[in-house]
Structure 1
């Protein structure tokens, strides 16, 4: 039986409020350390007031409403308010500048942009050429408070769009991933199962709400179980672990950049005295660095998960009460299928590397397609529900999957395929290396050359020759970088992924 039925996000939150009432739904800590919170009942009333306010501004079902804000309770309120009236959320990365925001505005044509004072100048610039409504939500508090706390949630199909979330654009122009009401509610049920989340848990995240991770592996599963969602305005390496301890978080999530920066912090006497029972981790980190992190912070359990905006959740991952085999990304979760395919479309056997294909139900367990981009949709998603991820991996005889690299990051050297991750893992073992990204750059003789973009730790000195010499001791000759260039920092997406497309474009041959 389908546990979601015909529920939409608005009706779903009405149920959560009725069920959990005065239980704390959300706690928020801003950059200055100010903490605020709301119960499920009050949060739903605030959502209703915001929904009524949006309707008074003329927003209708099917309209696009962009949200350009930092992590906050107001973000969550407006997220659900937009969905409740049947309009479509368009999250905009809070780190975007004028040109990035303009791309999304042109693509989606929102009727309204909800933002904060610090971002108003971006939209003042956009409005010189495009007539759009935008408002600072903090300047309309009186109007919001005067709205009714009751809203009659309309009925419509939960296969309708709830949001258009844009991919990070690490390799190409961002695409608008279409996500339904069903997708988001499903994410809550799926991810809460995956991490064995219960009503007493306190899930803390510093991930940005304009990204799929914060929404579908943190917020939705926490609310689905009536647990408490602890939202940080932004990630701070020197504050984060103190916040984990202070808020008595039982679950949190991390990415390689966070682990790297946390390990660079001075050891604190109480850093092992936390309440964590589990930490989610998303690609990629070598075994040594992961073990050092686990040992230092006394992490009881690391749950590895693999997914993307198009898959809604980490559909391949460690499963409850099953053996974990890091660096395996785990096994396929319920209601999904996965297989490995070669370049000719043939299905491969265990331990053979190829492209990861996954299968789900379109608009339910995987995305509905790319917004106004039928060509890209058809390229990655076939009618049977198989999604071509573009990622390279394999599985072992026990059904555990392993991630090799993004297909776009495989470097072709004189007919050989080289995984950028393999080379990055090797270089990162050098004690003076803080961060490294490996890319392929054009070469008329070898097709591509390997280039290592390296950031050194403060106070350390390494030469390009020393890095190449170290690689030659641990890698095949054709995998050793031909070019080593040092950087003060690497260009990143909002979730800390290195934007290798920028590094490639900036390379001077």
Structure 2
């Protein structure tokens, strides 16, 4: 398996747009306004070509990085396809990111053009051209270039397509690099995983800036001709009516979505729908899973992966085979093993690190942006990707997820680096020490908790810390639970014993 086996995203899109010009490609709904927009392949092709010409007029060339800072909206799809067409590199930035977080990504990637929902004067980014979506600038600039053919440089499958920043176990997020081959491989893989076809309608509320939507929904839709139903934001009270109204056959979900849908009042006719599969990420308690499937008359297809592995590398099978709470079997293009501390494969039943082997730039990320050291550290000497997650396999090869080996808090689908939050809190002049950890949350899977040690003689409140962080971190990274102590429990080598913090009471 190598990059030459796959076309570029541009070549794939051109083929599909020519083949399926009049077929519905994208449906977008804004739950706050109830506005629905529909795009055929032909319409999206026109819009993305106008966007490509606009980017070229701004001086964007092959290899240049362009930031896309927006929520779920059709313009993200237009820009993604447009940048892929001219060989530029997509850098998605979450809409909840603060100015400081955005500035970090802009600087590290050398971004000179940023498409955003916010006007240029709210950014104060020197040397960066900001194209605003909501003041009419974006549409006006596209209209000026309508009909102008965009440049068509050589774009190869192994060329860089995207840099996606994701939280890791360090204080700074890392830029995961995806090639064109990565994206097309993902489309083909998920088409297999979900038995996806042109007859399907795939509804998602996941964020367009995240890997789950891009590589497990958007690219599979392009690959197969399925219609992508993109909802601007998740609303528990509206989602199931959206699923029924748009005749969705496949939907994406995570623990928060399942739990909040179960909390909704039972509606007349809620089992009258077209859903054949719920593409789900990581297990639920057996009782919750069974209650959800029984109530809504659906099947959860479980799978496990990360940004670095692109898709659900371990998955239930498309023929219906599963062993809940197993996360599944290794899919095509991947090998998976459970490794001990010495790196050797462990026998069935023994718990160790889940490690994945694939082809870099095809079935695995191409590496971390400008961080060769982190890229090397992510792989074993014999080429296995270290997930940092703990699990085990049974005698038949089914894999089971146990816990995270690193300090990642998983809150409502967001991966939050505990270290990143700790570094931000330590910037407060009254803080002497801090530890951040995830605690159980019945709705969001995990909540962010901070245990703070004030400097001697200083007094702090939870509101003081949260207000301080509000200008430094996205809202979902800010701890919802803050506890104050005289000190932190530490082990022999100074490592904070976070397990004790989950059970001990405050010392202040």
TM-score for both structures, normalised by structure 1: 0.79
Structure with more contact order per residue of length (Cα contacts < 8 Å, sep ≥ 6): 2
The 8 Å contact of residues 248 and 274 in structure 1, kept in 2 or not, is answered as: yes
The 8 Å contact of residues 45 and 150 in structure 1, kept in 2 or not, is answered as: no
Other-structure match for 1:232? 231
Structure 2 CA distance for partners of 1:9 and 1:507, relative to 1, 3 Å = farther
Q: Measure the CA separation in 2 of the matches of 1:64 and 1:74.
A: 17
Q: Measure the CA separation in 1 of the matches of 2:335 and 2:21.
A: 38
Other-structure match for 1:7? 7
Deviation of 1:44 after TM superposition, in Å, equals 1.2
Q: Measure the CA separation in 2 of the matches of 1:171 and 1:268.
A: 45
Structure 1 SS opposite 2:178: strand
The 8 Å contact of residues 45 and 149 in structure 1, kept in 2 or not, is answered as: no
Equivalent runs, 1:409-428 vs 2, <5 Å = none
1:57 equivalenced with 2:84 (yes/no): no
Deviation of 1:109 after TM superposition, in Å, equals 1.8
Other-structure match for 1:302? 300
Structure 2 CA distance for partners of 1:34 and 1:332, relative to 1, 3 Å = same
Structure 1: gaps (5+ residues): 411-419, 425-436, 441-448, 458-484
Deviates more, 1:366-375 or 1:282-291: 282-291
Deviation of 1:273 after TM superposition, in Å, equals 1.2
Q: Measure the CA separation in 1 of the matches of 2:12 and 2:50.
A: 17
Q: Measure the CA separation in 2 of the matches of 1:163 and 1:450.
A: 30
Q: Deviations over 1:112-152 (max 9, x none)?
A: 00112xx336x63432xx33111113423233124226445
Other-structure match for 1:194? 193
1:133 equivalenced with 2:132 (yes/no): no
Equivalent runs, 1:41-56 vs 2, <5 Å = 41-56=42-57
Q: Deviations over 1:448-491 (max 9, x none)?
A: x998846689xxxxxxxxxxxxxxxxxxxxxxxxxxx9xxx9x9
The 8 Å contact of residues 337 and 358 in structure 1, kept in 2 or not, is answered as: yes
Deviation of 1:103 after TM superposition, in Å, equals 1.9
1:24 equivalenced with 2:24 (yes/no): yes
Structure 2 SS opposite 1:65: strand
Deviation of 1:153 after TM superposition, in Å, equals 3.1
Other-structure match for 2:456? none
Other-structure match for 1:318? 316
Q: Measure the CA separation in 1 of the matches of 2:334 and 2:476.
A: 29
Deviation of 1:408 after TM superposition, in Å, equals 1.8
The 8 Å contact of residues 10 and 84 in structure 1, kept in 2 or not, is answered as: yes
Deviation of 1:245 after TM superposition, in Å, equals 0.6
Deviation of 1:173 after TM superposition, in Å, equals 2.5
Structure 2 CA distance for partners of 1:153 and 1:450, relative to 1, 3 Å = closer
Structure 2 SS opposite 1:315: strand
Structure 2 CA distance for partners of 1:452 and 1:211, relative to 1, 3 Å = closer
Q: Deviations over 1:290-319 (max 9, x none)?
A: 1111122111x2110100000011111012
Deviation of 1:381 after TM superposition, in Å, equals 2.1
Other-structure match for 2:174? 175
Other-structure match for 1:277? 276
Other-structure match for 2:396? 398
Q: Measure the CA separation in 2 of the matches of 1:10 and 1:107.
A: 26
Other-structure match for 2:357? 359
Q: Measure the CA separation in 1 of the matches of 2:227 and 2:140.
A: 28
Number of residue pairs matched? 438
Other-structure match for 2:249? 250
Give the one of 325, 342, 345 matched to 1:344.
342
Other-structure match for 1:89? 90
Q: Measure the CA separation in 2 of the matches of 1:354 and 1:140.
A: 50
Q: Measure the CA separation in 1 of the matches of 2:11 and 2:441.
A: 49
Deviation of 1:161 after TM superposition, in Å, equals 0.8
Structure 2: gaps (5+ residues): 420-434, 444-461, 488-508
Q: Measure the CA separation in 2 of the matches of 1:348 and 1:366.
A: 23
Give the one of 328, 331, 356 matched to 1:330.
328
Structure 1 SS opposite 2:294: helix
Q: Measure the CA separation in 2 of the matches of 1:376 and 1:451.
A: 23
Q: Measure the CA separation in 2 of the matches of 1:505 and 1:85.
A: 47
